[in-house]
Amino acid sequence: MKEGKFPTVAELVAGSDAGALDDYLFNLKTGGEVRLGFPGARSQTLAFTDGVKTAQATDLAQASELYAAGWELGSPGRPGVRVHFAGTRQERLVAPSEVYARPGDRA
C-alpha cells in the first residue's frame, strides 16, 4: 500500500466496471483489514448519495454506474465509506482515500 500498488476504493470504483466487491480485500491506510458496509451483512456494499437519496452498490458494475451518474460515496451529509472490522460489530465511516483494495483469493 505504501508503494502505491493498490488502488483506493475511490480509484477502484472510478476505474473498474465489473466484478464483485467480495473479490477484494480491503485495508485501512493504518493497516487494519476491514469489510465494506454494515456489520453482519453477507456481502460487502458501498453506499452512494446524490445529496438527497441513497443507494447501495453490491458490485463494481453498480458502483461504477452510480459514480458515472455523479453520485458520491457516502450518505447525505456524511461522505465516506462505511467499514467494519471482520468478526466485530465495530464500524466507522472513513474517507474513500483511506481504504485500499487488493485482489483477494476469489479474484
- The whole model's pTM is what? 0.85
Contacts 24+ apart (CB under 8 A), 39-45: 39/84, 39/88, 39/89, 39/90, 39/91, 40/89, 45/21
3-state secondary structure of 82: strand
Confidence class for position 106, pLDDT limits 50, 70, 90: low
Whole-number pLDDT of residue 3: 54
3-state secondary structure of 67: helix
Whole-number pLDDT of residue 42: 86
3-state secondary structure of 26: strand
Instruction: Classify the phi-psi angles of 65: left when phi > 0, otherwise alpha if psi is within -120 to 50, otherwise beta.
Output: alpha
Q: Residue 1 pLDDT > 70, yes or no?
A: no
Q: What tens digit of pLDDT does each residue of 27-79 get? A: 999 888 999 998 888 899 999 999 999 999 999 999 999 999 999 999 998 99
3-state secondary structure of 105: coil
Q: Which of 50, 63, 55, 54 is nearest to 21 (CA)?
A: 63
